[in-house]
Chains A and B, each alone.
Chain A
Amino acid sequence: MSAARFSARFYVAAGIVAAVLLFGLVAPLVFRTHQVGDVVGGLYDHPSAHAWLGTDNLGHDVFTNLMYGTRTSLLIGLVAGAIATLLGVAVGTLAGYRGGAVEEGLMGFTNVILAIPSIVVLVLISIALGTRSTLTLAVVLAVTSWPWTARAVRAQASSVRTREHLDVARLSGAGTFSLICYDVVPYMLSYICMAFVLQVSGAVLNEAALSMLGLGPSGGVSLGIMLHWALAWESVRTGAWWAFVPPTLLLTLLAFALLMLQSSLDELFNPRLRRHARRRRTARPAALPLPVERPVPEGAAE
C-alpha cells in the first residue's frame, strides 16, 4: 500500500463524527441557560427564543436534553466499544494464536454467545440489575457485543501466526506475551481500529433500543430515553416534531457517519475493495488483509 490517501468519504464521515462529539462534550459547557430537569414550559411547547427546540412532555427544554442525551449516549458508546473491542481482541488473538484445544474452547464459547440474540441477554441482565447507572449499562452492552470482534480477530490472528517474522521473533527468544503484543496485534491494528468504530456505533444504537424498551440508564437522559418519552406521550401522533425529530436525526447521523467511517477505513486498508485497484491488478501485494467479516450493526438492535 502506498502512502495512505483518505477518500472524500472519510473526511465527510470524520467531520460528522467530530461535530457530534463536539456537540455532546463541549456544548453542555457553552450553553448553560437551562440545566437538565429544569421545567421551562408546559407540555410540548413550540420552539421559541426561550426554548430553541421547544419542550418535552414534562416541560423540559429539548435542546438541553439533546446536549446531555448526546453526551450520555456517546459516553456509553465509547466505554462499551472500548471494553468490547478489548475483550474481543483478547479472546480472538489468544484463540487464533494458540490454536488447538484453546481455540476450540474459546471459539465454541464465542459462537454460543453469538447464536443467542443479544437483545434477549440485554433485556434479562437489565431486569436482573434493577437500577442501572450509565457505566453499568456500558459494561452490560460490552459483555453482549464482543463475540463479533473475537470471531473476526481469530481469523486474522491465525493467518498472522504463519508469517515468517514470528519465527524470527521466536528464535530471538521472545515469550508468548511479547510475541502477541509486539508481533501479532500490531499486524491487526487496522482491523481492530475498524472493529472499534463498529462497536461504538453498535453500542450507541443498542443503548437507544434498550432505552426505548424502558430499560435505559436510570436517572439520566440519553437519546434513547428522549425517544422513549416522546413515544410514550404520543408526540409523533400529535405532531410535536421537535420532541422526536432531533434525537432521531442525531442517532441516524451518528450511526451513518460511523458506518461510513468504517467503510472508508476498510477501503483504505483493504486494496481489494478499491475499484481502481481492480484495473491495475498486475502487482498484488503479497500479504493482503483478509476480507473483513462485516459485523451486522445491531439495531436491536439494532
Chain B
Amino acid sequence: MSLPRYLGRKAAWYLGALLVAILLNFLLPRLIPGNPVDTIVSSLSRGGVEGSQLHAIHAHYVHEFGLDKPLWQQFVVYLGHLAHGDLGVSFAQSPATVQGLIGQALPWSIALQLPAILLGWLVGNVLGALAAYRGGWFDRGAFLGSLFTSSMPYYCVAILLLYLLAVVIPVLPPSGGYSFGNSPELSAAFVSDALTHYWLPFLSLVIVFVGGQAVGMRSMAVYELGSDYVNYDRGLGLRDRTIIRYIFRNAMLPQVTGLALSIGTLVGGALITEIVFSYPGVGTLLFTAISQNDYPVVTGLTLLIAVAVLVANFCVEIAYGIIDPRIRASSRGER
C-alpha cells in the first residue's frame, strides 16, 4: 500500500472513531432516566441551588437540549455548537463557560502528562532491553520490579508517594499546583513554586509508565535474542554493544504501537493521579463536576479526552507508517 493511501485510510478510520465518540457524547447524557432537564434541575435543587437560578438553568436547558425538536435536529444543533467551540455553560459555576473552565485546567494537565509519557517511555525501553540482555539477577530484579510498578494502579502509587514524601517525610508539598495565595503568573517565584508541586504527581506517573514499557520491551527483546541474526552476530564475534543496538532497533517497533495504545490508559490514570494531589488539571475538574452533577462540564471533558487520545493515536500511527514500510504492507490484512 502506498503511503498516501495508508494515510488516507487511517484518516478516514479515525474520523469514523471520532464520529462514534461524538455520538456517544451526544446520546448517553440524553439517556438519563426521565426528562433529563427535570432530573438535572431536581438534583440541583437538592444541592441547595437558589430558585431563580433553577429557573434560568431550566429554561437554558430546554433550549440547549431542544427537547421539542426531533433527535437528528438536536444532533445537528449540537454539532453546530461544537464547531464553534461552544460547549455550553457550567451549572455549578453558572456564568463560567465550559470551554473557559477547561481552558484554565488544560495547560496543567498537558504540562504534567506529556513529559511523563516521553520520559517514562524512553527510560522504560532502555531498562527493558538491558534486563533482557544482561539476564541473571539484574533481569530478575528489574523484571519483577517493573512488573510490580506497572501492575500497581496509578492512583495507588500516587497515594503511597503522597503519604511517604509529603506527610511522613515532609520534603514536598502535599497538594495543589502552586502554593495557596500564589496566583498563576510568569515570574521566577511562581515557576519555582509550581515546580516543587510538580515533582510528586510527575514521579508517580513516570514510575508506573516506566514499569509497563520495560515489561513489554523485555519480552520483545528476549524474543529477539533467540532469533537467528543474533546467533549469527555472536558467531561473527560482534561486540555486545553492537548486538544490543540491533536488538533494540528491532524490538523498538512494536513499542511504538505500545506507546499509541498506552496513551489512552495513561490519560485515564493521570485523571485520578491529579485528584489525589488536587492538581489543578482536567482530572480534578472532572472530579468536582461529577460531585456537583455539572453535566455540561463532564460531557465537555469526556469529549475533550476522547478527541485528544484519538489525535495522539493518529499521530503515532502515521509516524509508525512512515518509519516502517512493513506496517503499510501488513495493514492491508489487519486494517
A residues sitting closer than 8 Å to B (CB atoms) are 104, 107-108, 111-113, 115-121, 123-125, 127-128, 130, 201, 205, 208-209, 212-215, 227, 231, 236-237, 239, 241, 244-245, 248, 251-252, 255-256, 258-260, 263, 272-273, 275, 278, 281, 291, 294, 296-302
With a cutoff of 8 Å between Cβ atoms, the chain B residues found around residue A241 in the complex are 163
With a cutoff of 8 Å between Cβ atoms, the chain A residues found around residue B223 in the complex are 272-273, 291
A299 touching B226, Cβ below 8 Å: no
B159 touching A302, Cβ below 8 Å: no
With a cutoff of 8 Å between Cβ atoms, the chain A residues found around residue B154 in the complex are 299, 301-302
Bound together, the chains give a CA A43 to CA B37 distance in angstroms of 37
B28 touching A125, Cβ below 8 Å: yes
Give the distance to chain A from B224, nearest Cβ to Cβ, in Å.
Answer: 11
B310 touching A239, Cβ below 8 Å: no
Give the distance to chain A from B175, nearest Cβ to Cβ, in Å.
Answer: 7
With a cutoff of 8 Å between Cβ atoms, the chain B residues found around residue A299 in the complex are 153-155, 208, 265, 268-269
Which residue on A lies nearest to B154, using beta carbons?
A299
Contacts A260-B147, A296-B212 given; does A302 touch B163 at CB 8 Å: no
Give the distance to chain A from B262, nearest Cβ to Cβ, in Å.
Answer: 5
B199: Cβ under 8 A from any A Cβ: no
List 8 A–B pairs whose Cβ atoms lie within 8 Å, in order of A's numbering. A116-B309, A118-B264, A119-B264, A127-B29, A213-B271, A214-B287, A273-B223, A299-B155
Bound together, the chains give a CA A205 to CA B212 distance in angstroms of 15
With a cutoff of 8 Å between Cβ atoms, the chain A residues found around residue B155 in the complex are 208-209, 212, 227, 299
A112 touching B290, Cβ below 8 Å: no
A244 touching B264, Cβ below 8 Å: no
A130 touching B33, Cβ below 8 Å: yes
15 further A-B contacts with Cβ under 8 Å, apart from A252-B156, A275-B222, A299-B153, are: A116-B24, A117-B305, A120-B302, A120-B305, A120-B306, A127-B29, A128-B32, A213-B287, A213-B290, A227-B155, A236-B276, A259-B151, A273-B222, A296-B265, A297-B265
Residue among A236, A239, A263 facing the most chain B CB atoms (10 A cut-off)? A236
Which 7 A/B pairs are nearest by Cβ-Cβ distance?
Answer: A300-B268, A119-B268, A117-B264, A301-B268, A259-B151, A124-B28, A128-B31
Give the distance to chain B from A203, nearest Cβ to Cβ, in Å.
Answer: 12
Stretch at the interface among B12-20, B66-74, B83-91: B12-20
B212 touching A256, Cβ below 8 Å: no
B174: Cβ under 8 A from any A Cβ: yes
A120 touching B21, Cβ below 8 Å: yes
Contacts A104-B335, A227-B155, A302-B154 given; does A127 touch B265 at CB 8 Å: no
Contacts A116-B24, A120-B21 given; does A212 touch B272 at CB 8 Å: yes
- Interface bits B257-281 vs A (CB < 8 Å: 1, else 0): 0100110110111011001100000
Which residue on A lies nearest to B273, using beta carbons?
A299
Which residue on B lies nearest to A291, using beta carbons?
B223
B125: Cβ under 8 A from any A Cβ: no
Which residue on B lies nearest to A214, using beta carbons?
B290
Bound together, the chains give a CA A251 to CA B135 distance in angstroms of 30
